Amino acid sequence: MISQKLHQKIRSYVKVLQRFADRFWYPPLIGILAALDNFVIVVPNDGILISSSMLIPRRWFVLALSVAVGSTVGVLSLAAVVEFQGLPLILEIYPGLNESQTWKLAFDFKL
């Protein structure tokens, strides 16, 4: 039920955001959203990029480049946070992460 409400909220925010797809500040904004997606896992970057590219086809490359650069900056920022603050900070932000099957598989693969 909560996830359905969150899904509807995100969908409405994306529709509002798409009204501004032709503005000069839109590509940097979706780049920032792509960077934030590495920290908050509810930003639908693919949906925003695809729908924005369909709304304004002539700017598809700029939009894709903005999302790619934003994602890269986000990943580097997350890596820097983990490097300087350590894994306990990540586990504090995402409780139960180290108990997931994916975490255990990755940990076993590392060894």
Lowest mean pLDDT among 6-15, 52-61, 72-81: 6-15
Band of residue 61 on the pLDDT scale cut at 50, 70, 90: very high
Average pLDDT over residues 9-16: 78
Question: How much is the pLDDT for 110?
Answer: 63
Domain range annotation of the chain: 2-110
Question: How much is the pLDDT for 62?
Answer: 92
Question: How much is the pLDDT for 111?
Answer: 54
Question: What percentage of the chain carries pLDDT values higher than 90?
Answer: 20
Question: What percentage of the chain carries pLDDT values higher than 70?
Answer: 96
DSSP-H helix ranges across the chain: 2-18, 26-36, 45-55, 60-85, 87-93, 101-110
State yes or no: pLDDT of 68 exceeds 70: yes
What sign does the dihedral 58-64-65-67 (CA atoms) show? positive
